Structure formats: structure tokens, C-alpha cells
Amino acid sequence: MNKLLGLGALLTGAAAAYLIIAPSPIDPVAWEAPPTPLMSGALEPNDTLMKAELIGKGAIHGPEDTAVDAEGRLYASLHNGQVVRFGSDGQPAVFADTQGRPLGMDFDRQGNLIVADAYKGLLSINPQGQIRVLSTTAGGVPFAFTDDLDIASDGRIYFSDASDKFQQPDYLLDLLEARPHGRLLRYDPATDSTEVLLKDLYFANGVALSANEDFVLVNETYRYRISRYWLKGDKAGQHDIFIDNLVGLPDNLQGDRAGTFWVALPTPRLADTDLLHRHPWAKNLLAKLPRALWPKPQNYGLVLALNENGEIIHSLHDTSGTHLRMITSAKPVGNYLYLGSLNNDRIGKLQIK
């Protein structure tokens, strides 16, 4: 027994020494998060998302975003690198394989599926499923985490590089480090060039244009806010905060081009994480530990609807997280909202009109 106790003490000491001496994968800074807003008014919890039809349940993994083509066919970007298309029988078939991690996507006016792939950059997939790389770098800095996009009426593509330091498997390291590594970018197909509109964003995620395309929004996931970059008018080239202190971490963002933005929040705010942000030394240590010991997202389904003044007008919930959870995209198409997820096995289809 004494030998076992001695061995246990030795292992505990060795583990403590490792945590202290081993280099950390992050260089964190302190951040004081604002108090979490109350779930009241337009944020009042409900179970509206429980009414959603489930598509592809059990047949897909991680449909992070969706898109619908001119023929009404549904597409999804999956964890294994595939983009699948659902047939009339409701079953998915491989449309293309990027060999990466496709995330945000939308169709352009020529019928090409434009995809932000976390590893491969900004891609164009023609109706035959052939892939062409559009852009992988801007301002001399390669993309490390191409994330989401929206396409303007003139064909230019607004998209985000969530982090130029951490790649997709390490997105939580970006959260812990709490430094701005994200960028908002614009690709012009006429000149085959990419420019940086905004840099130093805190995990640049969802991107959406306004109804008149006079501004573009970009989610800053790890600051619980959405930033706005003005494209037209007296403020053109300037940026400001569109909405701040959200109740969760905003992921993808989609406008319906009629004055409403839909924001997917994969998890509500976690008090443990906000507390952790005050202590860089604790974040340094946590980054060295196995992921199983890190704070876990809450199993909860949450989507917000905002108007063009940055006001929350509706919220959709699955308070149990059993029907839809970890929602990362909410795409309005006609009378329906299609709901994707980073790691769930289904797509939600909810009638909204």
C-alpha cells in the first residue's frame, strides 16, 4: 500500500511539473466579459425549434451549413469533407469532396456553389461537382480557417478567415488565447483578387450583406458580438458594432435580403468560460490538458432574428437540446429556415412564414 501511495504521489508530482514547465500552445491575455443578458422579452425561452422537420437524421455528420439550388435541392457541408445533395427520397448523395472541411456556402448567379473550406480556402464547385480554388491568401497572409461567406449582386464574395493562427480543430485555442486573429475579406471574380476589409477580429465567423448591400456584417464569435462594415454612403470604409453582448456565441449569419438577419448560436454563454477569461495563467494551464477536461458547450438549440437596426426581434429555442443542438447555421429559403450543426447528425427545416 505504501508503495502504491508513493507511486501515486510521484505521478501527481510529475503531472504538476509537466503543467508548469511544458510550453503552452497559446499566449493568452485577460478579458473581462460583460454580464450575460437575461433571457427575457424577445429572448424568452420557447420550444419553437422542436417543431422543425429533421432531414438526414443519422445519415450525416456535422452539416455545418446548407444551401438550396435553383431547382430546390438541398445541399450540406459535412465533417468528412463532402458536400452532399439530398434527393427526392430525402437521402444524401455525394456532390463533391473538397478533401478539407467545407463550412459556409451559397450559390452564385451562375449556379456554382461557392464554399468556404476551413483548409482549402475559398472554392467554387460547378453544377457537375468540379472544384476550383478561388483564393487562399490576402495581404500576403494565407488563410488558416476560411469560414463563412455571402455573395453580392455584383458577384463579389464577402467571406471570413476566422483565425490566421489556429486551424479548425483548434478553434477553442483561439477562444482561450483571446487575441484577434480574424479577418473580413472580399474576393472579386472580375479581377481574381482578394482584399482585406477588416482585420484584428475576434474569431471572424458568419458573414451577411444587408438588403440594400450598403453594409456587411461579420460575427466576432469570441466577443459575443457582430461588427458592421459600411460599403456605401458617407460611412463607406468605416466599421462599428452592430450588436454587442449576445446571450451566446454567434456562428454563421444569414440575411434574407428583406431586412432580417438570422444568427445561429451553437451554445449559450458559459459562466465558467467568462470567469476563466480573467486569468491568463489558468487558460495557459487548461490549454495543456486533454480536451475532455475543458468546459463543455451546453446542449441547447438557439437562433436569433435581428432587424437591420441591430435589434433582436425573435428567438427560436430548443431548451432540451434533444431535437436540435449546436446549431451553427440558420439559412432562410422561401418559407423555411434550414438549420445546420457543426457536430450533430441532422438538418432542421422549420416553417417561418
Note the pTM of the prediction, 2 decimals: 0.94
What's the confidence (pLDDT) of residue 158? Answer: 99
Q: pLDDT tens digits for 199-212?
A: 999 999 999 999 99
What's the angle, vertex CA 246, arms to CA 241 and CA 75, rounded to 5? 95
What's the confidence (pLDDT) of residue 260? Answer: 98
Structural domain boundaries of the chain? Answer: 44-351
What's the confidence (pLDDT) of residue 22? Answer: 79
Q: pLDDT tens digits for 38-84?
A: 999 999 999 999 999 999 999 999 999 999 999 999 999 999 999 99
Rg, the chain, Cα only: 21
CA distance 257 to 21: 53
pLDDT confidence band for 296 (50 / 70 / 90): confident
Q: pLDDT tens digits for 101-113?
A: 999 999 999 999 9
Parallel, antiparallel, or unpaired for β 225-230 and 239-243? Answer: antiparallel
CA distance 70 to 338: 16
Q: What is the DSSP letter of 273?
A: H
pLDDT confidence band for 1 (50 / 70 / 90): low
CA distance 238 to 43: 30
Long-range CB contact pairs, 122-130, < 8 A, 24+? 122/146, 122/149, 122/157, 122/159, 122/187, 122/194, 123/98, 125/83, 125/95, 125/96, 129/95, 129/96, 130/96
- Does residue 30 have a pLDDT over 90? yes
CB-count exposure of residue 282 (10 Å: 0-12, 13-18, 19+) = middle
Parallel, antiparallel, or unpaired for β 204-209 and 193-201? Answer: unpaired
CB 348 within 8 A of CB 52: yes
User: Spelled out in words, what is the top-level CATH class assigned to the domain 44-351?
Assistant: mainly beta
CA 349 to each of CA 236, 275, 289, 323, 339: distance values in angstroms, whole numbers, following the listed order: 36, 36, 38, 12, 6
- Does residue 181 have a pLDDT over 70? yes
CB 267 within 8 A of CB 251: no
